[in-house]
Structure 1
Amino acid sequence: MTDILMPALSPTMEEGVLAKWHVKVGDTVSAGDVIAEIETDKATMEVEAVDEGEVLEILVPEGSEGVKVNTPIARLSGDAVAPAPKKADAPAETPKAEAPKAEAPKAEAAPAPAAPKSDDGGRIFASPLARRLAAQAGLDLKAVKGTGPHGRIVKRDVEAAGKGGAQPAAAAAAATAAEPRKAQSLAQMGIPDGSYDLIPLDGMKKAVARRMVDSVQNVPHFPLFIDVEIDQLMAVRAKVNKMLEPQGIKVSVNDFVIKAAALALKMVPEANASYTPEGIAMHHNADVSMAVAIDGGLITPIIRKAETKGLAQIATESKDR
């Protein structure tokens, strides 16, 4: 028997959302099969099986939030199970066959996103991509009806809302459900109740705050100011964009900076390192992060292996974040 653990999709990931299961109890999987979708504050990624066997138990239902890295999320038999033994063992699997029944309320919850919002003081459940698309389209996510797991707003919901499919009733329900909240820390400071409004933190804001604190504590900071003439870079950018125009790709100055930073990290590998209690981790790839402002927050998506990618690919991936 093998436990499938919540994977770490990035070096800094501590927890995530188990957005969707692609398998159910009784399914036989092979190494490389997509078994689930994991959502972090930055992206939603597919998770592949690394072992073969039969899914014996789903330990974490889809839609679960705050699932810690390395937490068992499912249980797999040690060896692949042949079809005949599966049928013979059917009576023993009867309790596990009830797993789809346990997920039935989740399917019913999808059409009513207001319920999960009201549970957290008006929090809006939406994927990072959906938030970015909504910000670009000028859409208020409170007026968008989610069709993802547990009513989560996903890409297709924002696209439908942009075509006139928004649900104003959802906004009214969310506004009605939101109630004043109290902050215990402020009460301890002697700040009276009713003298402030408390905006609940969603997963993204918690992650941003945690990463900022980690950055200040663990990374040496120093200011550096230089003036750079980029006339030649702008001329090259104009030529590159003209070449890429038929493909509908436009390279920004930021894309040049990402590429330059990646090449610099390869030239000075000592700068492309991280401290761990076991030793200094010298990274093989130059993964460059960038700050992206979205509706209600800031995320820092990562361009993986930027040193191996051309400007066109970097520009495309940057806009897809």
Structure 2
Amino acid sequence: MRQTIARRMAESHQQAPHFYVTTVVEMDAALALRKQINEQVDDEAEKVSITDMLVKACALALRKHRGLNASFAGTQLRVYKRIDIAIAVAVENGLITPYIVDADHKPLGEIARLSKDLINRARTGELRPEEYQGGTFTISNLGMYGLVEHFTAVINPPQAAILAVGSIIKEPVYRADGELAPSQRMRMTLSTDHRVADGVAAAQFLAEVKHLLEHPMLLLVR
């Protein structure tokens, strides 16, 4: 598996001209909503993680910015009708990316249940090939591994983009009234294939993901 990953990542860098856009998200509201949801959910399988919220936010943002829900292979640009969000999962011999089909149409609780099942079976080697050989967009979240403030990820070919997500860190922030207050903040970096999209499209998509996470009730009503 490691050799396959190395070959695919080398091909991705060689064939896809990467560029990167980074933003910072204030996660206080998202964390509060997650806590409220999980306190009311009896089924452990439907308890919501930050990754689940990212899946929903990215799926909704891709619905609005279809140009990034795409791939470039050979000389052909393909924009997908379906939004299938892949999650990068570390396994013993490397990395695997199971994906959630039609993630923009699934409620947050169902995304939570599906992601837990896919991640657990990825780690035990029980995934079927059709559950990880696909996806239209990938999320790589290293936030749970300590203070990973920021990183960039290599695009998962033939997809057009991947979102790299760091840890949530408490930082002082100046509010609109000039007061300094603590805030839970998270950095996200979007790697994009320049053959598929330009900087403006990437920035607009990232701004939409940020908006959804900072107003997380939107994840429940869309």
TM-score by length of 2: 0.48
TM-score (norm 1): 0.34
Query: Rg larger in 1 or in 2?
Result: 1
Q: Which has the higher strand share?
A: 2
